[in-house]
């Protein structure tokens, strides 16, 4: 009987606060305005760098863009409609993006939104590459003070998100010790494999 009680004492997960529809609508309007005001930056984003654009977003916009609901989907669509053409690889063809190009840019940018939020909350240290959508892009990430800076290609960052996504979210939002430990383990394993 005691073993049953012990199993029930698993600590509850921290709840990420959801942005309600009324505020989400206001944030989407603000997002569109920020992107409109950033046309010159977007035209030169591959050389100016994603960090410059992320600096223009407030925390609530970052939170909404990574929120897993229909409001988050709208925010991501709003952002990617401008970011995908700005960050895609130069092509010889027309200006229409393929679904693969949109997916590549979206997959590279989404972790940036989460990492920027974690950086602002001072739970992690991160240095972004100019263009995270490039396969050879190099992120520098430290998950613990004073922790080593790890160099991660976009592919390695995406593997980290795939393998330890929940822990990465917990670390960026809350900075909790358990999440930090899990992410550190994943980073150490990735370094050992290279």
Count the neighbouring beta carbons within 10 Å of the beta carbon of residue 93.
7
pLDDT tens across 63-95, in order?
999 999 999 999 999 999 999 999 986 654 556
Rounded to whole angstroms, how far apart are CA atoms 59 and 43? 24
Residue 146 falls inside a structural domain = yes
Residue 95 falls inside a structural domain = yes
DSSP 62-113: HHHHT-SSHHHHHHHHHHHHHHHHHHSPP-SS-SPPPHHHHHHHHHHHHHHH
> What's the domain count of the chain?
1
Residue 164 falls inside a structural domain = yes
Residue 11 falls inside a structural domain = no
Strand partners, 127: 140
Both structure tokens of 108: 């590279």
Residue 123 falls inside a structural domain = yes
Rounded to whole angstroms, how far apart are CA atoms 94 and 101? 13
**Distance in Å from the first CA to the final CA of the chain:** 47
pLDDT tens across 87-107, in order?
986 654 556 888 888 898 999
Residue 14 falls inside a structural domain = no
Residue 1 falls inside a structural domain = no
CA distances from 11 to 96, 140, 183 (A): 49, 32, 19
Residue 9 falls inside a structural domain = no
SS3 (DSSP) at 140: strand
146 preceded by a cis bond (ω within 30 of 0): yes
Question: Range of 58's domain?
Answer: 19-193
Q: Greater confidence, 17 or 6? A: 17
pLDDT tens across 13-22, in order?
678 889 999 9
Q: What is the rounded average pLDDT for all residues in the chain?
A: 87
């Amino acid at each position: 009987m005691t073993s049953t009680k012990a199993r029930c004492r698993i600590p509850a997960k921290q709840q990420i606060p959801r942005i309600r529809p009324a505020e989400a609508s206001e944030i989407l309007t603000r997002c569109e305005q920020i992107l409109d005001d950033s046309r010159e930056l977007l035209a030169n984003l591959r050389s100016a760098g994603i960090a410059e654009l992320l600096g223009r977003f407030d925390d609530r916009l970052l939170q909404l863009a990574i929120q897993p609901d229909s409001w988050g989907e709208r925010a991501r669509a709003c952002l990617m409609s401008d970011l995908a053409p700005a960050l895609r690889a130069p092509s010889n063809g027309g200006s229409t993006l393929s679904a693969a190009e949109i997916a590549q840019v979206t997959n590279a940018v989404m972790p940036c939104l989460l990492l920027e939020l974690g950086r602002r909350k001072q739970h992690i240290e991160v240095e972004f590459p100019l263009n995270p959508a490039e396969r050879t892009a190099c992120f520098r990430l430290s998950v613990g003070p004073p922790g080593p800076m790890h160099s991660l290609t976009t592919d390695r960052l995406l593997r980290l998100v795939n393998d330890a996504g929940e822990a990465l979210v917990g670390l960026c939002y809350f900075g909790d010790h358990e999440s930090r430990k899990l992410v550190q383990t994943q980073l150490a394993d990735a370094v050992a494999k290279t």
